[in-house]
Chain A
Amino acid sequence: MSHTLHVNGQQHTTDVDGAMPLLWFLRDTLELTGTKYGCGMGLCGACIVHLDGEAVQSCLVTLSEADGKKVTTIEGLSEDGSHPLQIAWLHNNVSQCGYCQPGQIMKAADLLRQNPAPSVGDIDAAMEGNLCRCGTYLRVRKAIADAAGQMNGGAK
């Protein structure tokens, strides 16, 4: 049975097994490697993408479940890296190794969609499932707050 996905605005029809997690379809089949494997159990957040606009752990979503839906990966978050979160990430030099950061940014984008002016507590609660072994958490907090300020039209 074939599946059709809309990934970053492009339609892909595939015959691969519908039980395959979206993560591996993105990484191995489409070679969109910005979405990372970290745990395979929804525990680290490195694989977060948007499915019809909502953040999901792509290691836990099967191709069948994503059939017919719109998938946005880090490569498709903005045309040219101009999403306010991406800019805030650069401005704050958030990344160290950078491996978890696509997942952090995709999760943060979902947070700001739902809550345009999150408190520190809101940020912590939303980002709790995104692990960073380098320890960039304080900069993640700051970058999200900065991006929220920017998106609300008045960066302080």
Chain B
Amino acid sequence: MSTLHKEMRTISRRDFLKATGLATGGLFIGVSLPMGVLGSAGSTGFEPGAFIHIAANGDTTLYCGRCEMGQGISTALPAAVADELEADWTRVTVLQGDADKKYGPQSTGGSQSINQMLEPMRKAGAAGREMLIAAAAQTWNVPPGKCHAKSHVVYNRVDERSLPYGELVALASTLPVPSDPVLKTRDQFQYIGKSIQRHDQQDMVVGRRIYGADKKVPGLKYAAIRHVPVLGATVKSVDRSAVEGMQGVVDVVVIPRFENPYGSVGGVAVVADNTWTATEALAKLKIEFEMGKNASYDTDAYKKQLVSNVEAPAKIEFEKGSLDQAFAEAKVRHKATYVGGHISHSPIEPMASLAWVQQDKCEIWASTQDPESIQKTVGAYLGREAEQIVVHVMAAGGAFGRKHMCDYVQEAAALSKAVGAPVQLTWSREEDTRTGYYHSCSAQHIEASVDAGGKLTGWLHRAAFPPIASLFNPAAEQPSADDLGAVSKHPYGIGNMRVESGLAPAHTRIGWFRSVYHVFWGFAINAFTDELAHEAGVDSLQFFRNIYDSNNDAEQAEQVKRSRAVLDKAAEMAGWGKQLPANHGMGIAVHHSFASYAAMVVHVEVVGKAIRVHRVDCAVDCGLVLNPDIATAQMEGAVVMGMSLALHPEISLKNGAVVNSNFHDYPLLTISEAPSVINVEFIGQDYRSTGIGEPGVPTLAPALANAIFAASGKRCRSLPIELV
């Protein structure tokens, strides 16, 4: 990820725990969390964190500070807390926490929630368990070691007496909090590692789950918006005559661009009694725009320029060994250039938010991945302190990185401020498609050498893509050394290497799309490796194995081992090497990202230009899996998203504006295109838990491209894939 979203490192493991007895007779247990660097590079420190609440009747509420967008975090994390707490899951209610520092960092992305939060949250649960045990021991006047907790009850081993949690809450909350509570061992887990049902499934199937777009408050007005079509364009004039006196229209509001990375690009909105009236009125307005300096942006031409920029020497960001020597001594030399287009997140729930700005209060209800950024951005817009912005975190109807940015929330706040009423702003699909923070388009050129012994000896990698850093710093016009880390630190561990950065100034907003740069790293590196294997006359799986087996760098030993293990597992699951019918082929890919490892084998059938994916076998190592069913669903979703970006059109811009508009010209993968079978297996469960939301996506497209080659002899070097 970018410099701002680089893999989060735990600054310190010095968690502290804090308990608060409440007047209502409950027990609150908080946990301090190491602050990550997500969204606030360089900042470290400790804040009070997430809370467990046990009521006097034993009913237990677990607050989830991280945002739920379908990835299941609001089940997986609380279930881990409940496990350590020895809580009875049927007594647990999970609530989504509002924006609040007490929950620790709430920005939800980079597959970091489990990686960062699991241990401190388990400790909070364990501390609670130890305090309840201590309270029981004190009541019975026995040593705590003579007591144990199970499923909301503490038992006395001496005389078989027992006390339910509810009866211990008052005393427990007066006791000191253990500074280093003992965590359970794997054989003691009740919920960790079990596929307990997500807490929100029932509401979803009866239509009761309330997303950002669904929130209602008394006196609510509804808004529709049309944005400037080009980044940096302004609204020159608005002819409102057609909507004057129109029934139900409250106001027409011009929203200027808010110069903030997460602020509105600017546009014109109509506030009305309902969304339909607002939409109808908006369509009647005659709006003129001043297009500005990005009005010549054309993605077809731009991608050609990126290709030129990587097919010539570029800025050297990393070098080791002697590439010249490796190339001179090569038995096989090969080069190829890979290109990728912009991608839109396109969650089915478009950007939507409710804001109510009053003199002394500002309240927001939003589908979001980052309530803290809403506080900061809306606070900056209104000239108020971030803490004064109350943000209710609503369920997100899909997010995939887009809802990190809160331009739609700031716009709702601008509208609420303008009309003096609560306003629900729902973007149309067209606005959602055309006003994104897109996945970078990219070009990568790779040249490599294989020696007489079949060993990969040299690797030149040039990449050009508009970096996400351009959102924050207009001078960021090409990938940084850090951005290129996935190549320079790749567990291939090639001895002779040069990594170069090509020029790629941004002309539209670039954002974090699920798996971020790993989408194109995974594609190019794996597709090129398959090409090299073919050039060297070695079976692709064997060639991958040889590369990893040749890496003797002790610092990469674990990465090599785990990469190799998922590779072998996926191959075994798929029956790699078995005889396939004509026009069928298998392709394999393996990629390490977001601290996890994934390998996929795609089985495809190619007839003419028609591509049919029959089956995908996925092997994943994300350490100990908290909830296998949720993790499996994440991998199934990664396959579908990977297929969608590989097989369906990219986001194209002409004259600075997005050409696509809705699902007819930006189609997503449909059910009939989905594979018949997706197999998922998890290995490496002795390692600590890491993320699963993103690591699956990068392997699908290259495994598919390699399978298409196996089936048809055609090489695919672009995303989306174009068969000619």
Contacts and interface: CB of A to CB of B under 8 A. Distances in A.
Contact of A37 (B350, B398, B640, B664): B350
A35 to B, nearest CB: 7
Contacts of B653: none
Interface of B: 69-72, 195, 197-198, 200-211, 213-214, 216, 222, 247, 273-277, 279, 345-350, 395-400, 426, 428-429, 629-630, 633, 636-641, 662-664, 668-672, 674-678
B222 A28 contact: yes
Contacts of A7: none
Interface of A: 16-17, 20-21, 24, 27-29, 31-41, 43-44, 46, 73-75, 77-78, 81, 86, 89-90, 93-102, 105, 120, 123-125, 127-141
B213 A141 contact: no
A133 B71 CA distance: 12
A23 to B, nearest CB: 8
Given A98-B395, A101-B205, A140-B671, A93 B197 contact: yes
Given A41-B663, A100-B348, A130 B70 contact: no
Nearest to B675: A138
B274 A96 contact: no
A131 B663 contact: yes
Nearest to B222: A28
Contact of A33 (B210, B247, B345, B428): B210
A138 B678 contact: yes
B633 A43 contact: no
Contact of A39 (B203, B279, B663): B663
A75 B640 contact: no
A24 B70 CA distance: 25
A93 B194 CA distance: 14
B398 A74 contact: no
Contacts of B426: 37
Given A41-B664, A102-B207, 14 more contacts: A37-B275, A81-B205, A89-B201, A89-B204, A93-B633, A98-B203, A98-B397, A128-B672, A133-B400, A133-B668, A134-B637, A135-B640, A138-B675, A138-B678
A56 to B, nearest CB: 16
Contacts of B275: 24, 27-28, 37
A127 B671 CA distance: 7
Contact of B429 (A39, A94, A128, A129): A39
Closest 7 A/B residue pairs (Cβ) = A34-B207, A135-B640, A99-B397, A97-B70, A98-B204, A74-B207, A96-B70
A44 B202 contact: no
B197 A95 contact: no
Contacts of A100: 348, 397
Given A133-B668, A137-B671, A38 B72 contact: no
24 contacts: A20-B276, A27-B275, A29-B274, A33-B210, A34-B206, A37-B275, A39-B662, A41-B429, A74-B207, A75-B207, A81-B205, A96-B70, A96-B71, A96-B72, A97-B69, A98-B201, A98-B204, A133-B348, A133-B641, A135-B638, A137-B640, A137-B670, A139-B636, A140-B671
A135 B636 contact: yes
A72 to B, nearest CB: 11
Nearest to B280: A19
A123 B672 CA distance: 9
B425 to A, nearest CB: 12
A140 B677 CA distance: 13
A140 B204 CA distance: 14
A149 to B, nearest CB: 18
B201 A90 contact: yes
A142 to B, nearest CB: 11
A12 to B, nearest CB: 15
Contacts of B395: 97-98
A24 B274 contact: yes
Contacts of A140: 671
B668 A131 contact: yes
Given A36-B213, A95-B204, A21 B669 contact: no
Nearest to B198: A93
Contacts of A24: 274-276
A80 B214 CA distance: 21
Contacts of A101: 204-205
Contacts of B276: 20-21, 24, 28
B200 A98 contact: yes
B206 A96 contact: no
A36 B70 CA distance: 16
Contacts of A138: 636, 674-675, 677-678
Contacts of A38: 348-350, 429
A29 to B, nearest CB: 7
B242 to A, nearest CB: 16
A141 to B, nearest CB: 7
A43 B70 contact: no
Contacts of A73: 207
A134 B398 contact: yes
Nearest to A144: B671
Contacts of B247: 17
A70 B340 CA distance: 48
Contacts of B345: 133
Contacts of A129: 670
A32 B276 CA distance: 15
B694 to A, nearest CB: 13
A107 B361 CA distance: 42
Contacts of B274: 16, 20, 24, 28-29
B446 to A, nearest CB: 29
A129 B276 CA distance: 23
B100 to A, nearest CB: 23
Contacts of B669: 135, 137
Contacts of B216: 31, 33
